[in-house]
Every structure is written in C-alpha cells, then in structure tokens.
Structure 1
Amino acid sequence: MNAPVDQPPADRPTAGQAPVLEARGLVKRYGSVTAINGADFELRPAEVLAVIGDNGAGKSSLIKVLAGAVVPDSGQLLMSGEPVHFRNTRDARAHGIETVYQDLAVIPALDIASNVFLGREVRRKGLAGKLFRRLDMPEMRRQSSEHLADLKIGIKSVNQAVETLSGGQRQGVAVVRSAAFGRRVIIMDEPTAALGVRESGMVVDLIKQIRDRGIPVVLISHDMPHVFEVADRIHVHRLGQRAAVVRPGERSMSDVVALMTGATEPTEQERAGGS
C-alpha cells in the first residue's frame, strides 16, 4: 500500500455511532440494466462522506435514491435506525435531507433571498398572507442574511440578483439554502465542477463549516484532491455496489483509484464498510 499523500482530517467521534442515513441491499433496474445491484450505504453523524466511482458505476442512481428522486425496486432505507420510504424528493426533504444538484437549481433573475426561500416562501401574517398570499420579503431577507453570515459567505446584499454573482457565489447560495433547511443530511453533487481554484476552495470551506455545525455531508465528486482534503471517509462505488469504504489517512489517492477501477481488491474490513 502506498504512503498517504495527505494528512487526514481530525478524527471525529463517528465510529460506533448509529448511522444518520443508511441503505441496505438497494436494487434499481431500468429495463435490462441494473443500475444498483444490492448496494449498501452508511452515513455517520458529523462526517463528510465522499462517494466516488467511475461513470456507469451506479453512484448517481444511489444518490438519487437517498435524495428521494428515484424509488428503488427493493432494499431498505433507514434514518437513525428507523425505516423510511421516500416516494419523491419532498418526502426526503420532510425528513431533513437537502440536495445541492450540479445545476444548482437557482433562478438567476431572482434575488438571493428569493432563491434561498425558493419553494418555502414566507408569507405575511394576517389576511395579507392568507388571503392575498403576499410574501414577507423583509423577513426572508433578514433570515437569508443571517444564513450567509453563519457560513461566512461574503455577499454584500441579499437583494442582488443571482445572475450578478460569480460561479462560486452562486454555489454558495445553493449551499446556504440546503444548510438552512437540511436538518439532518446535506447531499452535494459535484459542487466544485466548472469552478476555478479560488471558488472551489470557497466551496470546500463551506462543506467543512456545515460538517462542523454537526450536519453530515454526502459529497459526490471526481476531484480527488478535494475529496482527500475534506472527506472523513470515502465510499467507493463500483458495478452498482459499495466496493469499499476507506479513510484518506489510511489509503493514498492511487490506492483509492485502484479500488475504484478494480485494479486492487479491498480488505475485508473495507469491503464491509470500513472502520
């Protein structure tokens, strides 16, 4: 085994604790294609779990099941040990799972506050809100400003249209929205894709801040340096299954790539979900 190329993140008290989100034996078929083939998954409290795999490995389908976007054909999902059934993303969100998709799902022409509360708009009190459905924009702006400040995102005004922001700042708005409403789990799909070095670094810092607030993060990424910088554990997905779970401090990048491609076999402990 090669020597690790990066220092691992500080140890976190996750081993032995009940998983926040867990999957057992998931199966999903699309006609004759089996995208998920008896996959297991385990997200522990207050950790960043990176999910990596080659194109076609089934990791996207796995994440869509966790986010409620895809209903599996069989298998079981659990949250804090209790079985759950997600028929759609609304069910997953009701259980405190928020997802930041690669396309961000922001509306460029709307201001930041409107995007943060997209689909969860705060209405005015009394008849103005109930009868005329008028929005309480001052309250939405106040809360949005607080959320931006909490995550140390340097945007001067929540009145700005999202289309005026840089790519990293737009990603920040999407992250803020998820952090504001994701009580239990945040899933991030390729959050640094198409971003420059500086903006990617900002997003990595946001992921660390969310974890440090006690919310576990599922990070889907092809960027191995970012994975090794921020992940507490790495879930390696291959051929529709969990191939291994490793810690960055115990495996090098080349080791993990070899596990991902099948060039190296995992240990029994890694195959079973790691330490």
Structure 2
Amino acid sequence: MTDATSSPEAAGRTATSDPPLVRITGLRKSFDAVHALRGVDLTLAAGEVTALLGDNGAGKSTLVRCLTGVHPPDAGEIRFRGEPIKLHSPDEARRLGIETVYQTLGLIEDLQVWQNLYLNRELTAGFGPFQVLDKKSMISHSKEILSRLDVDVPNVRATVRRMSGGQRQSIAIARAANWGKTLVIMDEPTAALGVRETTAVEALIRRLRDSAVTVLLISHDMAQVLRVADTAYVLRRGQTVARRVVKDTTGDELVGLITGAIEGDTHG
C-alpha cells in the first residue's frame, strides 16, 4: 500500500508530470441483485475540488464507501498516486490521509470543540503504562487548526451544542482537513445551512484547495458546484456519463446530464 505522506505543490496544484491523486477505473459493486456501480471511471487531480453529481441511487454513496474502505469493489481498480490500492477498512483509508465529512457530521454535542477535533485520536503524555491525556497540547493545537483554516469559533473550550449549524459544519471539516492530509470527501456540506453560513463553508473549501488538499464534493446545489469546483463528474445508474471542466459548463447542462435530458459523452 502506498505511503500517505503528502508534498506541497505550488498554488495547491500538482506538477503535470505527477500522476493524479486518485484514479478510479471500471469500478463495479453489487449488493445481491442490485448493481450499485456498473463501471465508474473518475480522476481526482491533486489540489483541486472535484464535484460528484447524480440523482439519488446514481451510485455516489457506494463510490465513496469503496473509496473509503467501507465496501470492497467487486471489480475495477483504484490507484492512489499512481499505485493500485485495495482498502479493507476505513482505518486504511485514513492512513492514506483520506477523511470524510458526512451529513451527520459525527460530532458529539456535549463535548467541547477541542475534544471533538481529537475524538479517538487523543494525545497522551507520560511513559509506558503511566499515560495521561495531554489536554494542554490538544487545546493549543486545536486553536492552531481553527486559526489556520480561519474557522470562526470563539472558544475551543465551548461545547458543540452551543455552536451554530455553520460552525458545526466548519468544525467537522476542520477535523477532517487536519487528519485528511491528502483527500477530504464532503457529503452535502451546506444542505441545512443558510446563505451566510454556506458562504463561510465554501470559503473554507477554497482554503483547503489553496492548501493543496484535494476535495471531493457531493452536492445537489449546482450554483455551489459552479462557485467552488474545478471539475464535475456525473453518475447515472451506477455509471460515469460525463466529465465537465466547471468553468466551461453551466448549471443547466449539469442538471440535464444528471436527469438524462442531455446525453452523456464519456465513461472516464
């Protein structure tokens, strides 16, 4: 399995001679008689935001689960930095620097911000069996994480329950970005947010890209895709039907490709 160590690229872009961060070819996955993926091809360029589009049942969630080690694909290949990989668990994906922000966020409301940032990754101090939680370091590092990403949280000691929807989403993204050094997958990150909070989260996505973090964005919001994504892939009935450079397309074209009103023109 490939090493997850990342190297910074100028302006968050990889050199043209480097392989893409992730290349998926011919991915297939079935659950009994249900063919969730029928041959998906997708490329994630390092340091870019790629949108993954499609109606419910198009295969987006299954593709993400294959990419994060939840489900092994039945056929096809996933390459990470040019090397084929087989992920058997989410922990293996995390070791490659792949993190996911789900719609449920995975935050514990009665824990403080810093505790959520280090949930299941707590720092300890001491020797041998005499280990204690290094609360001071985790609080200090949490402040640095949020400051680096310009996340507007007034106090890392505040409980998540007291945070707004946008702040909670930003905390979840900051946690994923801190541990996911190479790829952060976001599932409808602004679906339940207002205009102001959506703007803040989109600004955070751009900052991740500028920091050379690759983002895979699942969104039904075509205006958002046009604002923040570099490339968009459309899935329909478990297949890749189109790839578009976002600056060269429109929301209407993307919607047409999703619904089938416009024929797809690619399988990779």
- TM-score normalised by L of structure 2: 0.92
Q: Say which of 213, 226, 229 aligns to 1:228.
A: 226
- Counterpart check, 1:113 vs 2:122: no
1:113–1:159 contact (8 Å) kept in structure 2: yes
Structure 1 residue 74: Cα displacement: 1.5
Structure 1 residue 38: Cα displacement: 1.1
- Residue pairs, 1:118-267, within 5 angstroms: 118-126=119-127, 130-267=128-265
Report the equivalent of 1:66: 67
1:101–1:188 contact (8 Å) kept in structure 2: yes
When structure 1 is superposed on structure 2, of 206-215 and 239-248 the one drifting more is 239-248
1:14–1:44 contact (8 Å) kept in structure 2: no
- 5+ residue gaps, structure 1: 1-9
Structure 1 residue 133: Cα displacement: 3.9
- Counterpart check, 1:80 vs 2:78: no
Report the equivalent of 1:4: none
Q: Give the whole-Å Cα distance in 2 for the aligned partners of 1:250 and 1:195.
A: 28
- TM-score normalised by L of structure 1: 0.90
- 5+ residue gaps, structure 2: 1-10
Structure 1 residue 77: Cα displacement: 1.0
Q: Give the whole-Å Cα distance in 1 for the aligned partners of 2:185 and 2:170.
A: 14
When structure 1 is superposed on structure 2, of 11-20 and 143-152 the one drifting more is 11-20
Report the equivalent of 1:18: 19
Runs of 4+ displaced beyond 3 Å: 10-17
Report the secondary structure of 1:125's partner residue.
Answer: strand
Deviations 1:166-201 (A, max 9, x none): 011011111111111111111111100111111111
Q: Give the whole-Å Cα distance in 2 for the aligned partners of 1:219 and 1:17.
A: 22
Structure 1 residue 69: Cα displacement: 1.6
The aligned amino acid for 2:76 is G
Q: Give the whole-Å Cα distance in 2 for the aligned partners of 1:78 and 1:158.
A: 37
The aligned amino acid for 2:255 is V
The aligned amino acid for 1:63 is V
Report the secondary structure of 1:249's partner residue.
Answer: helix
- Residue pairs, 1:20-99, within 5 angstroms: 20-99=21-100
Q: Give the whole-Å Cα distance in 2 for the aligned partners of 1:26 and 1:249.
A: 27
Report the secondary structure of 2:240's partner residue.
Answer: strand
2:28–2:36 contact (8 Å) kept in structure 1: yes
Report the secondary structure of 1:134's partner residue.
Answer: strand
Q: Pick closer, same or farther for the CA change 1:272–1:28 going to 2, 3 Å.
A: closer
Structure 1 residue 266: Cα displacement: 3.4
Q: Give the whole-Å Cα distance in 1 for the aligned partners of 2:12 and 2:86.
A: 32
Q: Give the whole-Å Cα distance in 2 for the aligned partners of 1:14 and 1:58.
A: 31
Report the secondary structure of 2:247's partner residue.
Answer: coil
